[in-house]
Structure 1
Amino acid sequence: MPAASDDFLMLPVDLLRAGLFIHLDLGWMSHPFPRGRFRLGGSDEIDTLRRLGVREVRVQRSMSDAQALLDACSEWQHTKDDAQRDAPAVPAARTPEKTPEKTTAAASPLAVAAGAPNPLLDTFRNDGAQRRLRAQLQSQRDSLAHSERVHAQATRGWQSVMRDAVSRPQQAHQAAAALANGLCDELLGDPDTTVRVIGEAAGTAQSQHALNVTVLSLLLGRSLGLEGAALQDLAMGALLHDVGKLLLPDHLRNADASNPALLLRECREHVAQGVRLGMAMGLDAEVLRVIGQHHEWHDGSGLPQGLSGAAISLPARVVGLVNRYDRLCNPPAGEPMRTPHEAQAHLFAHQRAQIDPVVLAAFIKLLGVYPPGSIVQLSDDRLALVVAVHPARPLRPTVRIHDPRVAPEDTPLLHLNDQPALGIRRSLHPQHLPRTVVDTLSPRGRIHCYFAHDLEPARARAAQVA
């Protein structure tokens, strides 16, 4: 679909900078570039344009880096202001009268593109775009801070439950129920709730695993139609699915991944001990089934009873899948780490027979092909971190673009749902990227997920409701 005419503006070559997406109005034999439309990568390309005698270039706003566009237009405005301030005064009697048509025609080429008014530059004249950018960045920071703050509270709640589970089981039950209820409210309180990757996560690897499994299980359970008490039981089961590890000896709790026999014993023992602790806590039967069945598999190859198909409760099938996914992304010491994209692909390619196909299909639809935490290459070759995926638009996630000139917290998020011409080309592993790129995108050694609210522009949320 061709871009709208007001998506373009004419910029003098001297104002160009890396990150702007330009269209050359030259024949393909009249310039040395591979394509006539491309994103400027540096000063060499700009110098080539000067040598070609090009004075102005069409810039496409929607395909350009926001910060580069902001800097270029701000510089243009300062240049114009300086020129007006330094111009010699003209006696009023000799100033020719200008008609509205002449005023428009005499305006800078930046003010008109393809014969259409340019609303972007109008906003720059009154600093509106800068205010909107600052507001957008502040909204992003507020949303992330809220997710990290509530995640930290949930982590403390889970740690409190674990401290009391053995010595004060009834009190642990009450605390777990309160935490599960709070997480369900967090999910259901906003119909636009999505899943995001958060940068900082409090607690231990065990608490982070429990929260990851619970958040993703609730989102998956909701997509499968669970609600009310069933969703509450799912949250309780997910939070407590590994509670039996509290009663394991150290050599089992920290079983070496290279010892399959020890891992098998650890699996059997922590499930059995978890059911025992759950009964002491007075947990409902459905919650106990999640704890007792989250290592059972659809084809009957799981533990401890070898159950299959519908004999495994739906909440247990949900938690079992998400538990396996998080272990692939955030493995114990000694096991290889996979990116979220690789983990999902591994489940589908190698373990599909062990997973309920309905649950697996819903999980892939929920997170999309590139789950939060994935580093991707966009169709215009830029690198980005997938920050969030909306269940209604799994193939059009929200990403943070790699820009070495801008701190991650100062980089506006890009909603691919608002960029029809832009997509994802492939997923990349951090090990295959320069250290500087990984540090700028800031993916952590572990992937932490939590609920997110108000990440998308208001117009996108309104369109989804409609």
Structure 2
Amino acid sequence: MARQSETEYHVAVEQLQPGVFIRLDGAWFEHPFLFNKFKIKNWEQINTLKKLGIDKVVYIPERSDHLPLRPAEAEAESGHHLGARPEVPPERDAAVQFLWQLKKDRIAKLRQKHESLKRCKKEYEAALARMPGLLQGIFSGTEEIVRQAGDTVHAMVGTFLGDTDAIVNILTVAEQEETLYSHSLNVAVLSLMLGRTLGLSKAEMHCLGLGALLHDVGKMRIDRRILRKKEALTKPEREVVRMHPQYGVETVAKAAGFPVEAAEVIAQHHERMDGSGYPRGLPGKSIRRLARIVAIADVYDNLCNNAQAVPQGAAEAMTPYQALAHMYTRQQNLLDMEIFALFIHSLGIYPPGTFVRLSNGILAMVIAVNPANPLKPSLVLYDAEVPREEAVIFDMDDDPDVSVAATLEPVQVPADAVAYLNPGMRVTYFPEQGARPA
């Protein structure tokens, strides 16, 4: 259920005091403050509003610690804390110009982030375009196809093992008719992210990425009608689908130079720690570590993007936050929980794709984990006054006073905000190289 609308009143700036929560009229780019909505922290902020020539603001009582001052109180306080309307124009006031410079720096950073996301999306789309040829071509068994798959993995491994932290972004992409390709890319990215956290060597990362990218290649031998079926599968259909690890192993066995370690990932990614998996029912540490990594990434992506994978026949896939919670509480006997703990650490408490309400009341969606501080991710902010393609991206490290007040399910977010924050139908990830430390 969406949050009830809040009461709003226009009040004079002279009536403000610390603890009053306000909203500024106009667009985010038209003032030097970090947010359009915020709680007044000190009298200096009120004086800055006066210097900017702002006479009235919107007061939101539900989020305020104090009431605005009555006119008589405001007149008495003005002599103590607020100067008279300044004669120095805002463009010459040092305090105002300092705020504007900070805002300009943030706008420049915002534009760089938008450009970075565009490049990341372009790289993702190029990798996605190669997937049909790779998954279909691997049946030829030629060294060239194995090399092409290796090149795709090599680029991602290079990003994760570069001199700076790789940032895993959530991307807005069009819905794909053939989800096998985007799922394979997602699992590869998430597996490599986890492999980096585990400290795998470059050779291990290459085998991990190759096995993850091709973990479902055996499904290319299964009737598309079964894989795309919306209803629950029949028992014979389930048995056919459960053959895909074996089909995959048979396929890559014919591929010249395909690493044994990567083939083991394909063979074992559906094995489970309690021995209940398939095709061989291997238990515990008899499952190769790389396969245990891919199993976690595979389950997570299916829960986020495949309604058939959600327990009890739920109509919709889970949010990333729900998927992690489900895996932690319901699949402890199935997955390697030591590795899973590092998976949670890698994605952060608020994994990309999570809707949140900030402490200042703003709705947002997590788009990237901060490797240096998982509690302070990057967010895209909902602001109907700002076009979606110019949406404000906020790094929580930039303002220690702002925190996540609540995580939200999509049904708790207004439909227009959901469409603004996450117009894509799938949770899709791709890495980019982080900023080089100063």
Q: TM-score range by the shorter chain?
A: 0.7 to 0.9
User: What TM-score comes out, normalization by structure 2 length?
Assistant: 0.78
Q: Which has the larger displacement, 158-167 or 313-322?
A: 158-167
Residues 136 and 412 of structure 1 are in contact (CA less than 8 Å); yes or no, is this contact kept in structure 2?
no
Residues 1:76 and 1:200: Cα distance change in structure 2 (over 3 Å): farther
Residue 172 of structure 1 corresponds to which residue in structure 2?
145
Q: 2:293 aligns with which of 296, 314, 318?
A: 318
Q: 1:152 to 1:62 in 2, by over 3 A?
A: closer
Q: Is 1:442–2:422 an aligned residue pair?
A: yes
Equivalent residue of 2:270, what SS? coil
Distance 1:159 1:332, change over 3 A: farther
**Structure 2 vs 1, CA of residues 336 and 134 (structure 1 numbering), >3 Å: closer, same or farther?**
closer
**Larger CA deviation: 199-208 vs 151-160:** 199-208
- Measured in 2, the distance between the counterparts of 1:273 and 1:243 equals 8
8 Å CA contact 1:255–1:262 kept in 2: the answer is no
Structure-to-structure mapping, 1:1-400, within 5 angstroms? 24=17, 36-40=19-23, 61=33, 65=37, 108=86, 121-123=96-98, 128=101, 131-200=104-173, 204-254=178-228, 258-259=232-233, 261-262=235-236, 264-282=238-256, 283-331=258-306, 336-400=316-380
Task: State which of 390, 395, 398 in structure 2 corresponds to 1:415.
Answer: 395
Question: 1:151 deviation in Å?
Answer: 0.7
- The CA distance in 1 between the partners of 2:333 and 2:97, in whole Å, is 58
Q: CA RMSD in A?
A: 3.5
Q: What amino acid maps onto 1:326 in structure 2?
A: D
Equivalenced residues, count: 383
How far did residue 42 of structure 1 move? 7.5
Shift of 1:279: 0.3
Instruction: Tell me how far 1:135 sits from its aligned partner.
Output: 1.9
Residues 1:110 and 1:415: Cα distance change in structure 2 (over 3 Å): farther
**Distance verdict in 2 for CA 1:233–1:382, change over 3 Å:** same
Match of 2:5? none
CA distance in 1: counterparts of 2:50 and 2:180, whole angstroms: 51
Q: Aligned in 2, Cα 1:119/1:288: closer, same or farther, shift over 3 Å? A: farther
Which segment drifts farther, 171-180 or 321-330?
A: 171-180
Q: Deviations over 1:83-139 (max 9, x none)?
A: xxxxxxxxxxxxxxxxxxxxxx88829999xxxx98651247xx7456435422320
For 2:88 and 2:293, locate their aligned partners in 1 and report how far apart those are by CA, in whole Å: 55
TM-score by length of 1: 0.73
CA contact (8 A) 1:111 1:121 kept: no
In the TM superposition, residue 416 of structure 1 has moved relative to its aligned partner by 1.4
* 1:265–1:352 distance in 2 versus 1, CA, 3 Å: same
Query: After superposition, what is the alpha-carbon deviation per residue over 1:352-383, rounded to whole angstroms, capped at 9, x for unaligned?
Result: 11111111100111111211011111122221
1-side partners of 2:235 and 2:280: how far apart?
17
Task: Kindly provide the CA deviation profile for residues 123-179 of structure 1, in whole angstroms up to 9, marking residues without a partner as x.
Answer: 47xx74564354223202211111101111211222221231223543321211111
1:160-212 Cα distance to aligned partner (Å, 9 max, x none): 21231223543321211111111111222342211111112586422111111
CA contact (8 A) 1:196 1:389 kept: yes
CA positional deviation for 1:329 = 0.4
The alpha-carbon deviation at position 444 of structure 1 amounts to: 1.8
Cα offset, 1:349, TM superposition: 1.0
User: In structure 2, the residue corresponding to 1:234 is in which secondary structure?
Assistant: helix
User: Which structure carries more relative contact order (alpha carbon 8 Å, separation 6+)?
Assistant: 2
Distance (whole Å) between structure 1 residues aligned to residue 220 and residue 36 of structure 2: 53
Partner SS, residue 108 of structure 1 = coil
Equivalent pair of 2:208/2:262 in contact (CA under 8 Å): yes
Question: How many angstroms apart in 1 are the aligned matches of 2:36 and 2:252?
Answer: 55
- Identical columns (%): 30
Partner Cα separation in structure 1 for residue 387 and residue 327 of structure 2? 35
Deviation at 1:251, TM superposition (A): 4.7
Q: CA deviation at 1:454?
A: 4.3
Aligned partners of 1:415 and 1:369: how far apart in 2? 15
Q: Match for 2:269: what amino acid?
A: H
Once residues 382 and 370 of structure 1 are traced to their aligned partners in structure 2, the CA distance between those partners, rounded to angstroms, is 16
Distance change >3 Å, CA 430–CA 400, structure 1 → 2: same
Moved more, 329-338 or 154-163: 329-338
Contact 2:265 2:291 in 1 (8 A): yes
Deviation at 1:398, TM superposition (A): 0.9
CA distance in 2, matches of 1:270, 1:110: 74
2:347–2:374: 8 Å Cα contact kept in structure 1?
yes
Distance 1:109 1:298 in 2: 73
Q: CA–CA distance in 1 between the matches of 2:359 and 2:106?
A: 24
* Whole-Å separation in 2 of the counterparts to 1:440 and 1:252: 34
DSSP-derived class of the 1:353 partner = coil
Q: 2:411 aligns with which of 416, 425, 431?
A: 431
- The answer as to whether partners of 1:340 and 1:371 remain within 8 angstroms in 2 is yes
Q: Distance in 2 between matches of 1:143 and 1:257?
A: 40
Q: Deviations over 1:257-311 (max 9, x none)?
A: 5236245413421111000001011321101110000000111111111111111
Structure 1 stretch displaced more, 406-415 or 365-374 = 406-415
Runs (5+) with no aligned partner, structure 1: 1-11, 17-21, 26-35, 44-58, 67-71, 80-104
Paired with 1:369 and 1:279, the residues of 2 have a C-alpha distance of: 40
